[in-house]
Amino acid sequence: MRVLRLTGAVEEKVLASRRASSREAERIAERIVADVRRRGDAALFSWTKRFDRVTLTPRSVWVSRAELAAARKRVSKEFLAAIDHAARNIRAVARRQKPQEWTIQVEPGVRAGQRVRPIESIGCYLPGGRFSLVSTLLMTVIPAKEAGVREIVVASPQPGPALLAAAEELGVRRVARVGGAQAIAALAYGTRSIPRVDKIFGPGNRFVTAAKKLVSNDCAIDMLAGPTEALVLAARGNARFIAADLIAQAEHDPDAISLFVSTSAPLARAVAAEIERQLSELPKTNLARRSLAKNGAVLVAPDIAAATRFVNRFAPEHLSLPGGADGLLARIDSAGSVFLGDWSAQSFGDYASGTNHVLPTGGVARTRGGLSVSDFVKCISVQEVSRGGVSRLAPVVEEFARAEGLDAHARSVEVRK
């Protein structure tokens, strides 16, 4: 693991490393999306056979109720208990996040309020390639149900027993055996077999991300989630714990980014050495070794101000603040999810602490946080002006309307005087 001084040049190089987009992925995704939009099921099934080597029909594309029930019997009681435990925590956080309805009197005769309504239908995309992310099912379905979403469609290529058992446990009834860019296109535009949804949620590979970007003008999406990012900021802490967190996130993807930032050169060297030691204990096939060699670094900052400035510019998906976390947290303005103290492993957030693991990457945390119930609802503004309120507001509206040259706007309040 490289140990580098956090200079201006190094900072810019690290920030630039994740800006490159895959033109090839976008080109391929554009072709697939256009084909599914034009030919529907025929294209969806053709691309599925080509990429996943699975032959689908309008009937076999959907997992049956019997298969869902059977899957639940194929997994261990311990796994079902883990689902229930994690779901309970995720549900508790989701309920606290839900936007509330309210009404206030802005001034005499003028009331304003907010009504909260769920999105009617959503699609939850779950990767099924290198790893089948069962936990992502919980992270998307549970807040959707807490929001009151009526129709939830899950799409995942070749879903296994664990995923289907989790779907059954959560009461999900519609699981389609489709994945990749073709699944995103089907959810966005609809086919004879797959219904069109109002919004698509969930992470995927670069082709899925490219497809979500392409359809976003026609179908809402949660966010464009790129490769996993882990950053640990600490002047003191347990090198073994820090290394373990960086390695854990690095095994998600060969393009994952893992960074340790510290003002302590001795701790930096200790973490770098510990990473090498722990990597030697993992199977050679583990992706962490590859991604850390490509996108991992230990950065030694001259002072805490420089360190936190870099963190806020990078705006990491996962940010750990071990030893002395309280003081550092006040300096953090941009991060997807923060883990405080030595004992808060990032994996707790991935699965069971209750916070959502669908998080912004690529610097998007500068403008938004992770997935929450608010992503599954619409906040509708409501206003009511009484006859008495007209006399107070009409002069204001008339002034604005005339300044903007919108005479009909002014007339619409004048007729009410």
Strands 257-262 and 199-201: unpaired
Please answer whether residues 55 and 49 qualify as being in contact, where contact means their C-beta atoms are separated by less than 8 angstroms: yes
Query: Which has the closest alpha carbon to 232: 337, 303, 358?
Result: 337
Q: Rounded to an integer, what distance in angstroms lies between the CA atom of residue 294 and that of residue 374?
A: 36
**Angle, nearest 10°, between helix axes 77-97 and 134-147?**
40
Selecting among 318, 384, 404, 409, the annotated active-site residue is 318
Selecting among 146, 168, 274, 317, the annotated active-site residue is 317
Q: What is the dihedral sign for C-alpha 236, 238, 240, 245?
A: negative
Q: Rounded to an integer, what distance in angstroms lies between the CA atom of residue 129 and that of residue 158?
A: 8
The tokens describing 320, both together, are: 């750990």
- In DSSP terms, 201 is beta-bridged to 124
Task: Please identify which residue in the block is written with the tokens 């602490």.
Answer: 353
Task: Please identify which residue in the block is written with the tokens 């009404």.
Answer: 103
Burial, 29: exposed, middle or buried (Cβ in 10 Å; 0-12, 13-18, 19+)? buried
317 is catalytic: yes
Query: Which has the closest alpha carbon to 26: 205, 273, 153?
Result: 205
**DSSP label at residue 154:** E
Q: Rounded to an integer, what distance in angstroms lies between the CA atom of residue 252 and that of residue 274?
A: 20
Cα distances from 122 to residues 152, 174, 186, 213, in angstroms, run 5, 11, 12, 17
160 CB neighbour count, 10 Å cutoff:
14
**So which residues are the catalytic ones?**
317-318
